[in-house]
Structure 1
Amino acid sequence: MTANGTAGDTGTKTGAPHDGPNRVLLLALALGAFSIGTDSLIISGLLDRIATDFDVSPATTGQLISVFALVYAIGAPVLAAVTGALGRKRLLLIALAVFIAANLLGALAPGYPTLMASRVLAAVGAGLYLPCAMIITVSVTPQQWRGRALAIVAGGMSAATALGVPLGTLIGAIGDWRATLVLVAVLATVAAAVLTVAVPQVPAPSAVTLRQRLTAAAHPGVLTALLSNVLACAGEFTVVVYVAPLAREVTGVGAAGVSAFLLVSGLAALLGSAVGGRAADKYGGGRAYHGAVAVLLVGLAAMVPVAAFAPDGSWGTTVLFGLLLCVISLASWALPPAQNHRIASMDIPEPTVALSLNGSSSYLGLAVGGALGGLAMEHGSVTTLALAGSGVELLALATVTLSMAAASGSGRSREGRG
């Protein structure tokens, strides 16, 4: 069931069925998402280099990702409330300016504490940018095209996984990890320049207070959707944050091999984003999301015997590991467009407010997954890492299944009363 008369229906060109999405605008928004997506996970491919430079463990270095994600998850709703009066274009450019400054600070960091501070600042920029970009996408896109439009913007994130993260990892392996953060700052600068030209002036929406956001999150359907997304992302990122040490231990590859794995799985992410959007348009966001979580669980669970029993460094193990990474990547990047479509289609008073909280749920899952994976690496093994990720993903699948059953039962109940 789709929402009627929502804030997402008040954008431009919502009339004729043949009206398609504004692709220039969507691609400009996706470019900004590309720079942020590259930054949010690029540390995962540089764990050992940073750890060696600052004399800390890879698990401690992994917390740079967890802190970024936690600041985003908590800060994004607060920042949205504080900046609600700003025009959307101005807010996007401010967000990218903060983000650029943060990465330059990280590139110049003399020690681990300064690098950690730069990650906090970068998360503030990301927390301002991404929810705004998603809300603009829903607002200006005809309802029948929303799944594909959301997939284009989310595709900036998956393209970062496909190109930005592997390229940054390779640059860090060949030269200095600091050069990778400079690359991210350059990408964000290019994005800002394109957005300055391509994005029209979009007025600020009606002010939404933090209390209203919390009220939207407390709606049973929204709360369940956000909880399932936290669990789904936590299961995924328990493994993905530590993919570099996992790949080295299971397959025996070096830094260049890790970059190759990231490139191949990143290309699968691009496909996953497109598949998620089209599946949401065809089958509905709930069914598309449920299917993606199920496939993700299969990929993570299959990683357990590979990590535990496959011959280390063999050709067969390397190929199988790469295939499983592709399955995990495809399924995980099908989640964002399906989840956004799922929330945007809910019959609730303010779906765009609920939609703005979804990014926080994803990044909270990233924070939880990064922390859980760090514990697994410190006190267990790569097999423990895969077990932990698949266990959390099983909880996510159970939550989604139960929520869909409850929603279906509620629908039948309403029909019976009618």
Structure 2
Amino acid sequence: MVLSLFMSFTPATLPNGKPINERLTLFVLAAVQFTHILDFMIMQPLGSRLMVVFSITPGQFTRLVAVYGLAAAVTGFLAGFVLDRVNRKHALLTLYGGFALSTLCCALAPTYWALLAARCAAGAFGGVASSVVVAMVGDIIPPERRGRAMAIVGAAFPLASIMGIPLGLKLTGAFEWHAPFFMLVGLSAIVFGVGAKTLPSIQAFAPASNPWGQMRDIVTHPVHRRCFVLTVSLVFGGASVIPLMAPAMVANAGIPEEDLFLIYLCGGAVTFMTTPLIGRWTDRYDKVRLIGIFSAIAICAVVLLTNLPRVSLVPALMAATFFTTTMSSRFGPTMAMIANAVEARYRGGFMSVNAAVQQAGGGIATMLAGLLVSSDPETGRLVGYSYVGIMSVFFMGVTYLLARRLASAAPWAARPGQHKGPVVMGAGTLMNRLASATEGRSAVANKNADDAGGRS
């Protein structure tokens, strides 16, 4: 299904007349996302090995994981001052090169503190690179295909789930803990080389002066503020439950630790198959309506997962897969809606700040969940995980309400194929729009109104 999404994209041209291969561009951007997410996720199966090698406590290991997101949040906010004043391709390649070098430092780290510093650097570079990827999708792909494009880039997460955990366990068992990082360095070098040759050059949208004014416009714009709040609520719904899912499977459901990789494998595989379908629906239907439907289904999955009793492996896998698939389905229409709401001249800086908000929100949600959960000293069960589920359900409901609020301020963001402001558009896009008008798939009056709103 992901392949069919790739085939739906056609060659186009940038405003400067240069041709662009949308399929190849999306493939490279998805590969950047894949290596970044895999670098983050691959730490999970290394916990027990690293605690032995470096003689560290579980708390010290969690810092290796947490510092990645915190560094990404800080640098993401700072990058918002400059990203809209530099060439998108140059920015992405510079950040991705720093990410690859930081990952190499992880592989070569001789001590815990060296590894901690390397993880901090990897998060700083990788987190901002990820926001540039999303910004480039918004710059290059027109709104009527942007949901599918976001689905292709978003498929990096389930692919990392399918490959990250099992591959990390296999490589660490066959060699040492360094092996997964060396593999990522080699893969990143290939992606960097292909990207340097094929990615289109997208010039800066903002003037070269007054970065403080640009940042002020980004953070004070009423539509942007609604996007930031929506992002926090979206992340809270999942980040509160996900970190404790594996420990709860072992302590509450009774799943052996050696079978935990199946949870990620099955959940990632099903999500990988459903992601393209979500992308097509996002392009075809009202995004707020989709967010409401997917949130309602995800609420059922959260209630089931956080109240799961002691069961056999198969029911546990079904519950975890149901949760993973429905939870990820909420991100596609929400992020496409946010990308549509932002004008092109703000998009790079906005996406960087929004990524920082997302990382910070995820960290706060995880800490709040930790305060609600404790371990029963007699049975070893995680007590209070159901309260985490209640918190998640609350924020999923809030996410839907906030999406409606954003749609009231930026109605073009939720409609199929609607946008505001200038978008990089190719000949294929123009033909698609003419065909849509001929076949009556879009209302001419609405389109003219939105185009007029974009020029104002």
AA aligned to 1:130 is S
Residue of structure 2 equivalent to 1:397 = 396
Aligned pairs, number: 392
TM-score normalised to structure 1 length: 0.81
Distance 1:20 1:329 in 2: 34
Residue of structure 2 equivalent to 1:337 = 332
Shift of 1:336: 3.4
Shift of 1:360: 2.5
Shift of 1:115: 2.0
Judged with a 3 Å threshold, the aligned counterparts in structure 2 of structure 1 residues 172 and 349 are, in CA distance, closer, same or farther, namely closer
- 1:310-349 equivalences under 5 Å are 310-311=309-310, 314-315=311-312, 318-346=313-341
Alpha carbons 2:303, 2:386 under 8 Å: kept:
yes
TM-score normalised to structure 2 length: 0.75
Shift of 1:272: 4.4
Residue of structure 1 equivalent to 2:242 = 240
Distance 1:235 1:203 in 2: 36
Distance 2:225 2:306 in 1: 31
Residue of structure 1 equivalent to 2:103 = 103
CA-based RMSD of the aligned residues comes to: 3.3
Alpha carbons 2:205, 2:344 under 8 Å: kept:
no
Unaligned 5+ segments in structure 2 are 1-10, 412-456
AA aligned to 2:395 is A
Which structure's residues are more often helix, by fraction? 1
- 1:159-198 equivalences under 5 Å are 159-198=159-198
Shift of 1:301: 1.9
Bigger mean CA deviation after superposition, 368-377 or 106-115: 368-377
- 1:9-408 equivalences under 5 Å are 13=13, 22-207=22-207, 209=211, 211-249=213-251, 250-255=253-258, 257-306=259-308, 310-311=309-310, 314-315=311-312, 318-346=313-341, 352=347, 353-375=349-371, 383-384=382-383, 386-406=385-405
Write the deviation string for residues 265-317 of structure 1: whole angstroms up to 9, x where unpaired: 111232343243223212233333333333333222211221xxx23xx53xx
Write the deviation string for residues 366-406 of structure 1: whole angstroms up to 9, x where unpaired: 32244345556666776446335423322322322332454
Alpha carbons 1:232, 1:392 under 8 Å: kept:
no
Judged with a 3 Å threshold, the aligned counterparts in structure 2 of structure 1 residues 57 and 211 are, in CA distance, closer, same or farther, namely farther
Structure label with greater radius of gyration: 2
Shift of 1:97: 1.6
Judged with a 3 Å threshold, the aligned counterparts in structure 2 of structure 1 residues 407 and 33 are, in CA distance, closer, same or farther, namely closer
Bigger mean CA deviation after superposition, 48-57 or 333-342: 48-57
Distance 2:83 2:14 in 1: 27
Shift of 1:12: 5.7
Judged with a 3 Å threshold, the aligned counterparts in structure 2 of structure 1 residues 63 and 224 are, in CA distance, closer, same or farther, namely farther
Distance 2:277 2:358 in 1: 19
Shift of 1:136: 1.3
Alpha carbons 2:234, 2:399 under 8 Å: kept:
no
Judged with a 3 Å threshold, the aligned counterparts in structure 2 of structure 1 residues 304 and 190 are, in CA distance, closer, same or farther, namely same
Residue of structure 1 equivalent to 2:435 = none
Identical pairs, percent:
20
Distance 2:287 2:64 in 1: 32
